[in-house]
Amino acid sequence: MSTLGAYFRLARAGWVMVREGVVAALPGDDLEGPPRLAWRAARLLARNRARKRDRSERIAKAIERLGPSYVKLGQFLATRPDVVGHEIAVDLATLQDRMATFPRAASVTAIEGSIGQPVSALFASLDEPVAAASIAQVHSATIDEGEQTRRVAVKVIRPGVRRRFYRDLEGFFLAAHLQERFIPSSRRLKPMEVAQTLAQTTKIEMDLRLEAAALSEMAENIADDPGFRIPSVDWARTGRDVVTMEWIDGVKMSDVEGLRAAGHDPVALAATLIQSFLRHTLRDGFFHADMHPGNLFVEADGTIVAVDFGIMGRLGRKERRFLAEILYGFIRRDFRRVAEVHFEAGYVPGHHDVAAFAQALRAIGEPIHGQPAETISMAKLLTLLFEVTELFDMQTRPELLLLQKTMVVVEGVARTLDPHFNMWKTAEPVVGTWIAENLGPRGVISDAREGVGAMLSLARQAPDLAARTERLSREINAMAENGLRFDAETAEAIGRAEARHSRWGRAALWVIAISAAVIAWQLV
């Protein structure tokens, strides 16, 4: 039954996209055959008022009708221009995760169920919601501390959001499966893995204890950083469905005139923002991946405070070295070295020619050196880099794409604050320090220390590895002699599952076909 339901939900989502003009707004002039006929039909079926909107407005309206799960899907796909294309990714990046609030009583139920204490024992007051998104909403609250009260922000999960997301997730997986089956060229993008990544990241985001843990981890990382901090967590009032944190009083970074009126220097704030982000990325390998201006506040003393840690990015040591070396290589015009780094990291398959890849990189890098530094975008450089690497069969790297998306957003905020912002000059102290510490003599010593540690760990595991190898060898020999066999019960179960899947698949296709015919008849 769940498979049939997934077909219906996917059909409904497609119909909403058609009616809101999303499909009609996609480029279709170069299509041929049935796809072109379907695109032209979608243009006729779009609502009249939808045709007057631009594409980003059409997408926003369709996703609003489809609900919270599709808001998260849209935001996730904004980080995957390799999947949806650069233009659509830009449109999706403008989605505002703002939804109607839900009653305070539902928040009280969620808080008490998650923490196991009455709200009256936890807070002196719990106000009406001040903001709501697809996953949760935020309340202002106060806590009695003797003669004083402390104001806090209480983030509470939206009722029923997990159940609805898991239900819609079946449709996402079905769409990915159909894409892989009927569009062979899309298999390189691994649609099923994309759906699995969406499922995993959203499950993490819907457990607010993990957001609190992200806050705690980053607080330790940046304890000594100048000009940037994050809210503290109240762990006694935090559970799966609620996280309580310090209330932030400040001016939103989206309010540039408000920042100036408060006496802040937008140019200095832009530099602090970029340098902080690069420290988190290169030094810590752990960064806030949703740093749009609505999530950034400036306190009275000029300190930037980031909120909403539901989406975080991680980079391993190899990815950080890769990022630093390609940036450094482009600055020095050493395109051969940039190409070699891609091959050394295993990102570009070894059967390609390093010299040819270096030539492609030169096509990106040379125009940069003819421009004023303040006009060069690091985010645009990364975008062009990923476009070129696609020609050389570079496999999708979700962690690098998330970094690129965040870089686009952060750099855009900096340029809003300072239209003449020089990304390279601002980044140089952080990038230069990291390169000196990790790619110079100190980096060699650090690598040697890690290598020795790995060898010692391997030596300790040697007896266990030898035993496993011997057991595996015996099992392989047995399989070679006797073949791979299923017992009767397993074979029968596989047969039943396959037959059931085929029946439901045929039934679902008939239902969708009949539904489409009914809809078409009603439109006549």
Specify if 510 maps to a domain. Answer: no
In SS3 terms, 140-205 reads as: EEEEEECCEEEEEEEEEECCCHHHHHHHHHHHHHHHHHHHHHHCHHHHHHCHHHHHHHHHHHHHHH
In DSSP notation, 437-467 reads HHTSHHHHHHHHHHHHHHHHHHHHHHHHHHH
Paired sense of beta strands 148-157 and 136-145, if any: antiparallel
- Of 173, 201, 229, the one marking the end of a domain is 201
Q: Token pair for residue 50?
A: 């939808």
Euclidean distance between CA atoms 15 and 13, whole angstroms: 5
What is the model's pLDDT at position 509? 47
Per this entry, what is the length of the chain? 524
Q: Token pair for residue 496?
A: 């039943």
List all residues 6 or more positions away from 61 whose beta carbon is below 8 Å from its beta carbon.
20, 50, 53
Residues 297 and 177 in one domain: no
Any catalytic annotation for residue 290? yes
Euclidean distance between CA atoms 313 and 406, whole angstroms: 9
Euclidean distance between CA atoms 287 and 205, whole angstroms: 15
Specify if 57 maps to a domain. Answer: yes
Residues 175 and 32 in one domain: yes
Euclidean distance between CA atoms 398 and 413, whole angstroms: 23
Specify if 105 maps to a domain. Answer: no
Q: Which of 132, 130, 75, 71 is nearest to 100 (CA)?
A: 132
Residues 343 and 408 in one domain: yes
For residues 89 and 81, the answer to whether their CB atoms sit within 8 Å is: yes
Q: What is the pTM of this model?
A: 0.73
Residues 175 and 316 in one domain: no
CA 7 vs. chain centroid, Å, equals 26
- Of 439, 454, 481, the one marking the end of a domain is 439
Residues 277 and 167 in one domain: no
What's the CA angle centered on 225, arms 221 and 231, to 5 degrees?
65
Specify if 91 maps to a domain. Answer: yes
Q: How many CA atoms lie within 13 A of 457 on its CB side?
A: 6
Euclidean distance between CA atoms 326 and 482, whole angstroms: 52
Residues 195 and 343 in one domain: no
What is the model's pLDDT at position 190? 76
- Of 405, 439, 473, the one marking the end of a domain is 439
List all residues 6 or more positions away from 261 whose beta carbon is below 8 Å from its beta carbon.
none
Residues 433 and 288 in one domain: yes
DSSP state, residue 233? B
Whole domain around residue 54: which residue ranges? 2-97+163-201
Specify the number of domains making up the chain: 2
Residues 178 and 326 in one domain: no
Residues 298 and 185 in one domain: no
Candidate list 82, 290, 308, 418, residue with the active-site label: 290
Q: Which of 317, 314, 280, 277 is nearest to 439 (CA)?
A: 317
Q: Which of 391, 394, 423 is nearest to 407 (CA)?
A: 423
Residues 272 and 356 in one domain: yes
Specify if 136 maps to a domain. Answer: no
SS3 286: strand
Euclidean distance between CA atoms 384 and 365, whole angstroms: 10
Per-residue confidence in pLDDT tens, the chain, 524 aa = 467 777 788 888 888 888 888 888 877 766 677 777 877 888 888 888 777 787 778 887 888 788 777 887 887 777 666 667 767 777 776 666 567 899 999 999 999 999 999 999 999 999 999 988 888 999 999 999 888 899 999 999 999 888 888 888 888 888 888 878 877 767 767 788 878 877 887 888 889 999 999 999 999 999 999 999 999 999 999 999 999 999 999 999 989 999 999 999 999 999 999 999 999 999 999 999 888 888 999 999 999 999 989 888 899 988 898 888 877 787 778 889 989 988 888 888 888 999 999 999 888 888 776 677 667 677 777 777 777 777 888 776 777 777 877 888 898 899 899 988 888 788 888 888 888 888 765 544 554 455 555 555 556 666 776 777 767 667 666 666 665 554 566 556 556 655 555 554 444 444 444 444 444 444 44
Q: Is 271 exposed, middle or buried (0-12, 13-18, 19+ CB in 10 A)?
A: buried
Specify if 227 maps to a domain. Answer: no
Name the helix (H) or strand (E) containing 380.
helix 378-391
H-type helices in 243-344, by residue range?
256-261, 266-278, 317-332, 335-344
Paired sense of beta strands 251-252 and 242-246, if any: unpaired
Specify if 244 maps to a domain. Answer: no
Specify if 135 maps to a domain. Answer: no
Residues 325 and 185 in one domain: no
For residues 303 and 228, the answer to whether their CB atoms sit within 8 Å is: yes
Q: What φ, ψ does residue 98 adopt, rounded to 5°?
A: -125, 125
List all residues 6 or more positions away from 143 whose beta carbon is below 8 Å from its beta carbon.
122, 123, 124, 149, 150, 152, 234, 237
Residues 267 and 183 in one domain: no
Q: Which of 376, 230, 223, 238 is nearest to 290 (CA)?
A: 230
What is the model's pLDDT at position 498? 54
What is the model's pLDDT at position 75? 75
What is the model's pLDDT at position 1? 44
